[in-house]
Amino acid sequence: MKKNKFNESWYIGDTYHLSIGQGFLLVTPLQVANFTSVFANYGTLYKPGIVKAVSPAGKEETKKISPEIIRQDFIDEYNLEVIRQGMRQTVTYGSARSLNSMSVEVAGKTGTAQWSDKKENHAWFTCFAPYKDPEIVLTVLVEEGGEGTDISVPIAREVLEYYFDKAGENR
């Protein structure tokens, strides 16, 4: 693919960059949230959706929208558990330690996407919570925000606190 687009060979350095989310890897926040949900739910990839139910105006009936499975059981359980534990350790020992004091256990991954030598990096954080029985997946991207730890994690904390502590009774 690189050969077709840029007329260049693939080098080992390209593989190294790709393995840490740099180089030719391009993803949207929705894609990151979607693959994070695979780790949260132990291996099922769902088609993204934003509607849970439709209630036509003036009618009592509600049409529920069922989740659509794209793929499941395509990652070995051991590998899923290794990733889950690594994401939890990001919060307990790593770059998202500020979430360790929350009322629920959070698992996540920070990211800092370098894209320009003249502008700030993009700040990423993706997470799920509670760790043992996830209810929510959240992905935060702040373009030109700097480090994921410094900007995206505090934003995620505010959203998670609202979700679990303030809006909990409305879920």
Tokens of 40: 């949260």
**Domain of 48?**
27-170
Token pair 């809006």 is at which residue?
Answer: 167
b/e map 29-49, b = 16+ CB within 10 Å: eeebbbebbbbbeebbbeeee
Model pLDDT, residue 171: 56
- pLDDT tens track of the chain, all 171 residues? 788 888 999 999 988 888 777 778 888 999 999 999 999 999 999 999 888 788 877 677 788 888 899 999 999 999 999 999 999 999 999 999 999 999 999 999 999 887 888 999 999 999 999 999 999 999 999 999 999 999 999 999 999 999 998 766 665
Over residues 83-122, the pLDDT tens digits come to 999 999 999 999 999 999 999 999 999 998 878 889 999 9
Residue 43 lies in a domain: yes
For residue 53, being part of any structural domain is answered with yes
**2 inside domain:** no
Q: Looking at the domain assignment, is residue 64 inside a domain? A: yes
Domain total in the chain: 1
What CA–CA distance (Å, rounded) separates 169 from 128? 19
Residue in the block written with tokens 């935060």: 140
Q: What CATH number has the domain bearing residue 71?
A: 3.40.710.10
Residue 163 identity: Y
Query: Quick check: is 21 in a domain?
Result: no
Residue 113 lies inside a defined structural domain of this protein: yes
Q: How many residues does the chain have?
A: 171
pTM: 0.84
First vs last C-alpha separation in the chain: 45
- What distance in Å separates the CA atoms of residue 51 and residue 93, rounded to the nearest whole number? 36
Residue 101 in domain: yes
Q: Confirm whether 93 is domain-assigned.
A: yes
- Residue identified by tokens 């499975």 is 69
Q: In what order do the strands lie in the sheet with 122-129?
A: 107-113, 122-129, 136-142
